[in-house]
Amino acid sequence: DVAAESRVQFGVGGLEWEISDAAMVTEHRVLVIGMRASQMYSIKAFSGTASGDTTFQTQALPALLPAGTVMINDTAKRAPGWTLVNVQKGGPDNRPRSADPPMAVIYDEQGRPVWYTIDVGGPDIGGAVSTQLTDKGVLIGPTWNQQTTNGIRPREVDFAGNVIWECEHTACDPGKNVTHEAVKLSNEHYVILEYVTTGGAQNPIYRELDANSQVVWTLDWNRLLPAPSGSTGDWCHANAITIDIQRNEVFANCRWMGLLKTTYTNPTKQWLLPAAYGSKGQGDFTYSPTSIQFSDAHAPDFHPDDNTVIFYDNGGWSGSVDTTAGYHSRAIEYKLDTTAMTATLSWEFPGTFNVTDTWYTQTWYSPFWGDADRLANRNVLVAAGAIGATRHSRVFEVARDGQIVWEMRLPNNYGVYRSERIAPPLVRAITQ
């Protein structure tokens, strides 16, 4: 009958983590996340001067959900935190065609899932399912082929697994090819990507939705930068967007065309950093030297503090994981001079680094997915997704000197599209 705060501590072999709620209440409820599967946990609950102890046995992981295998874990050099990814169980044909549902998973530093959600509302048809940590939980992007009734709409789930937002109304109804990307903005709105087919060409359009899924803003790539003459089909292959409302900046990426910068207010083209694969002479930057130009890319990570941008350069399109075509993926960073309009190489991996694991120099190729993010310590987190009975995905962190400081591998035939290094949500480590 005395209002007090709520705290729970838990751990294996001792109390390691704490989750707290400062609200002064007489009825207490704390959501405990961050436990590993198949473990016996000690738990202690506190409220004011009262406390109580118990133990809790966690269940095994679902058969569909893979644990990761951490091969490298340099605690002195890697950035701290957990890693959020999507995970797809692959189909039998070495392509991302799965009858299984999409999964969003948070892995700890040892590669153990400590949070996950499996959306049983439909199959993960394309594997290009974005994930983003939000202020309330995790935003999960749509599955491919939204024009069919099998597609799953973008949705935000809280850490208890409850759907707290889902794209509704006409914005994501069947018949709309909503795919690849969903992001939550600082104004609590959501942005989705739709391919609109006109005259045989798939034109990418980003739409900002309010909490009721009403369209309040639109970025039409083809209006700002028309398709090259004669383009048909998936001529652009949009896959990512970053919007900074306060800076009035938008960075939208098309795999075949490159990175487009526009304004947020009354979207107006600022420049295009062109890809070599399909930009066909369009572009506003000169690469110095010309040989450093990226081929085709996913998920650019632009940093206005030093005008650098990191790409996951897929390296070419083969249509499968077959590497005999000579394609090779990489992470590459450019320094942009927006006065001289030049792009110079500031970092590349594997590049010329002496990398002993030949997977990075000879085998690494992702035809469908990929992500590269600069972390707070300036290391780069890379999601190298590959699907196939004899192929595995790697999520790894590489330092600026080319040293791999953290590497997690998934079992064969499990793909990843994106990765994000996050601070453990809700919990804090107990200082012993």
Are 210 and 218 spatial neighbours (Cβ–Cβ below 8 Å)? no
Distances (CA, A) of 369 to 202, 301, 340, 382: 19, 15, 32, 11
Query: From CA 408, how far away is CA 284, in angstroms rounded?
Result: 38
DSSP string, 248-292: TEEEEEETTTEEEEE-SSS--EEEEEE-TTT-TT--S-EEESGGG
Locate 261 and state its tokens. 């910068």
Query: How far is residue 79 CA from its own chain's centroid?
Result: 17
Give the model's pLDDT for residue 94: 64
In total, the chain counts a number of residues equal to 432
Q: Looking at this protein, which amino acid is placed at residue 337?
A: D
Sign of torsion over alpha carbons 90, 91, 95, 101: negative
Give the model's pLDDT for residue 224: 94
Give the model's pLDDT for residue 93: 64
Encode the chain (432 residues) as per-residue pLDDT tens digits: 899 999 999 999 999 999 999 999 999 999 999 999 999 999 999 999 999 999 999 999 999 999 999 999 999 999 999 999 999 998 766 667 678 889 999 999 999 999 999 987 788 888 899 999 999 999 999 986 545 556 789 999 999 999 999 998 788 887 788 999 999 999 999 999 999 988 888 999 999 999 999 999 999 999 999 888 888 899 999 999 999 999 999 999 999 999 999 999 999 999 999 999 988 889 999 999 999 999 999 999 999 999 999 999 999 988 766 656 689 999 999 999 999 999 999 999 999 999 999 999 999 999 899 999 999 999 999 999 998 888 899 999 999 999 999 999 999 999 999 999 999 999 999 975
Using the 8-state DSSP alphabet, how is residue 358 labeled? H
Query: From CA 138, how far away is CA 383, in angstroms rounded?
Result: 18
- For 37-50, give one letter per residue: b (16+ CB within 10 A) or e: eeeebbbebbbeee
| Nearest in space to 120 (alpha carbons), one of 157, 147, 84 | 157
Are 277 and 258 spatial neighbours (Cβ–Cβ below 8 Å)? no
Query: From CA 193, how far away is CA 206, in angstroms rounded?
Result: 5
pTM value?
0.95
Q: Looking at this protein, which amino acid is placed at residue 395?
A: V
